Amino acid sequence: MLEIGVESGGSLGMWSHYFGPKCRMFGVDINPKCKSFENGTTKIYIGDQGDRKFWRQFTSEVPALDIVIDDWSHDPDHQLLTFEELLPHIRPGGIYICEDIHGAGNRFSAYIHSVADQLNAMNTVTSHTVQNETIAVQATPFQSIVSSISYYPFVTIVELAERPTSRFTAERHGDQWIASQ
């Protein structure tokens, strides 16, 4: 698990208690004093959230993550950059949470909305079976890894698929007319 924005370390303790002693935690903050929160299960990295070079160094040193929580600068440009850099570093079935998405017209929120639209992209191929019609849709690369994007007040959650999805199918049922007697 990664928490971006350690600050006073309070939530690190909360997450550690919630997930238990087997959870390996990472924290990121710009304040070097946050290194004091390191222990046997938690490692703290000091860097700038708005620096791609920092994130690339971070992902080269840290194993793939199950959970990412961005609760740091609350700057939409930093949130967008962090999402772009870390999404590929999350394991299948993992989640990305971004907190404190404030204001109408927020750039990060607009970006996530445009990304969510990709969940609806579609190339339809229809094939027929003997008793019903099956509609098959080839998954886009984005659809194959992202299973859902949820919006809440000031929070967005992106959930990755457990396994890559290559195709969506829907069998048509219940549309056969039966004469009444």
So where are the chain's domains? 48-122+144-164
Q: Give the Å distances, CA to CA, from 73 to 8, 33, 54, 80, 81.
A: 14, 17, 15, 11, 12
Three-class secondary structure of residue 170 per DSSP: strand
> Phi-psi bin for 57: left (phi > 0), alpha (psi -120 to 50), beta?
alpha
Provide the edge-to-edge strand list for the sheet that holds 25-29. Answer: 42-46, 25-29, 2-4, 65-70, 90-99, 155-160, 146-152
Three-class secondary structure of residue 105 per DSSP: coil
Neighbours of 73 (CB within 10 A): 17
Residue with tokens 């996530």: 112
Is 106 in contact with 84 (CB distance < 8 Å)? no
pTM of the model: 0.86
- Res 132: pLDDT: 58
Catalytic residue flag (residue 89): no
- Res 136: pLDDT: 75
- Res 107: pLDDT: 94
- Res 166: pLDDT: 85
- Res 128: pLDDT: 46
Q: Give the Å distances, CA to CA, from 140 to 112, 120, 162.
A: 17, 9, 16
Amino acid letter for position 167:
R
Which of 74, 89, 102, 113 does the annotation list as catalytic?
A: 74
Instruction: Answer whether CATH 3.40.50.150 is correct for domain 48-122+144-164.
Output: yes
pLDDT values of the chain reduced to their tens digit, one per residue, 181 residues: 999 999 988 899 999 999 998 999 999 999 999 999 999 999 999 999 999 999 999 999 999 999 999 999 999 999 999 999 999 999 999 999 999 998 888 999 999 999 999 888 876 555 544 445 667 778 888 899 999 999 999 999 999 999 988 888 776 656 555 555 5
- Res 122: pLDDT: 77
